[in-house]
Structure 1
């Protein structure tokens, strides 16, 4: 019976945990790649080593997704491979402006000699659903793609810096498709909600501050013989579970939304938090039963 319960519990834990080395929007489908004995996968000339790819079941389809942005800078394209904006819509084109796609790179406003198509890995998907268009040909608008992947936008409202994962770039062709200019689709800023990083940090601080008091309670009951009765021992076990769970849960709170975390570390921390809380809740139930039996 214990073996069955342990197996069911492990299954539930593994199903509920999703540890990926990169976000979905920074992943590429490498299902058709060649896998080697060292667990690396080669797809379209790029090698994805162990830890730089993961498996995902998406709408009933088993996919193998690679993380090209680990150890390399990525740049989002607004249109698919071989396409560009033609009269406001993504359309295939054989124009030399996108074959290869090689927009100028800058350090601030100083032109760099680095070639974009050699420096960046292009991700052919937009990083967000809702975005606004920034046109370098519009009055007062300037776009400068930086070598580090950020975007420097000069607008009538003042200069704005955009993080690498908050925009996509593409070439825009006019009606006769003879001239091209650089445009960017910039994501709208996220509205601060209860899931903001500040709130997660506050959760983590609160959890860490609780640990010394739980530890003090544990030590008092451990070193005073008069308190080491049945109720005291249950309370010590309950506090012990929380003492283990809270620091690891605080660690998870501080790393919400981060990518590049090792799969092994993610699983180990998840198991520790899960079983520490299971232990504390079990002893809490025992304490409740003991109190009920005492006062009935």
Structure 2
């Protein structure tokens, strides 16, 4: 029969094997040596302020070295076996543990003590931060407005904020079992957290962003005004460009308005949702009009026939149906999913859960996803157009003559292609910057480049499409025509005003002549002047 000592050795060996198998899952380069840690009476080890429970580390019987796998470290306000009560730690019988959430929902069976290690001690918040009990933020009573995430961060819901949530990193909070007394004097315990929050509203860059947007809108509006004012530019290409710029203008002006309302704290979640939907439609429509430009230039070089006024109107209607119809469908899908009542999921827009406008993964999926495919289509159309130009130049000898009308037309089309390529490049760089800012939302330095470039979009578009000799000549010609027409109209009006006076003078002269003639005739016939005058 096995003695008690042998049984103990067998059990200890089995436990050691289990621990070694568990630790073997760690990367050998990441295994922590906690031999220098403080051994507590319950068998736990405190190393560098972090508690390693006795089941979480392994002791080498030969060397005596204690090793453990690294885990995420979060803060616990008081030691294990105690709870937090009115700024002090008190003994409690409740076991400490906390549920863990992934991005959107509770992870079934996951517990904090299994996923994290804990550093014991209250957090120290330095000014302008203050230590706040998260369950009482904006609430009259205790509430479940927070949860622990699998990445070690603390998610806290806010009742009067845009966005209506905040995420605290592990060094900005501590969780524990809190002890409090109700009005009847009964003692209760509750899992809660202390976190560092700003005493005042954190500084944002909405003022700079909205100013940048408004400046860009001003240059875009000037460009549209120039193209609408000059008759020579109100052709198919000018109409498409104006439609694109107007969509971009609407998106930018509403985005700036949203940021201004956020700055003065005069916006509600419902207004955020409405503005998000309209801005989404406007920006998507702008990119679809950009796609129309690339298609139209390819269609022009493909030689599909001439362009009469009636045909141009039909084609522009078809373009409008495409450039406004598809974004309408996408907007309906976005709105339907937002108000579908489905539980939170990474594939849903969740505008109301994330604040004003799309954010993070939903922004990449719903906004930048269609834009990505449109950009790929634009690149294909531009490459096909460039190949077509090269083929025409190689096959058509008539184009070598500079006096050829066909050569002049193709030269103008190539210039327009270059303009579209410049515009596509400008918007492509901005799109790349926006994607980077969506992938790394915590990188504050990215918004500087994005917002400065938003100003450059309006300025660059103005330079590309307005600051040209041809446009300046057309403007000069238009001003001269208006001045000439105004002068001619003024002279014509002056001439018309002199006509009644002349007619009156001529009438009186003619009337006097008739009377003289009739009087003379009467005297010759023996009739007196008075009688003749009476007869007349």
**TM exceeding 0.5:** no
Q: Which has the larger radius of gyration?
A: 2
Q: Report the structure, 1 or 2, having the larger helix content.
A: 2
Relative contact order (alpha carbons < 8 A, sep ≥ 6): 1 or 2 greater? 1
Q: Report the structure, 1 or 2, having the larger strand content.
A: 1
**Could you state the TM-score of these two structures normalised by the residue count of structure 2?**
0.22
**Could you state the TM-score of these two structures normalised by the residue count of structure 1?**
0.38
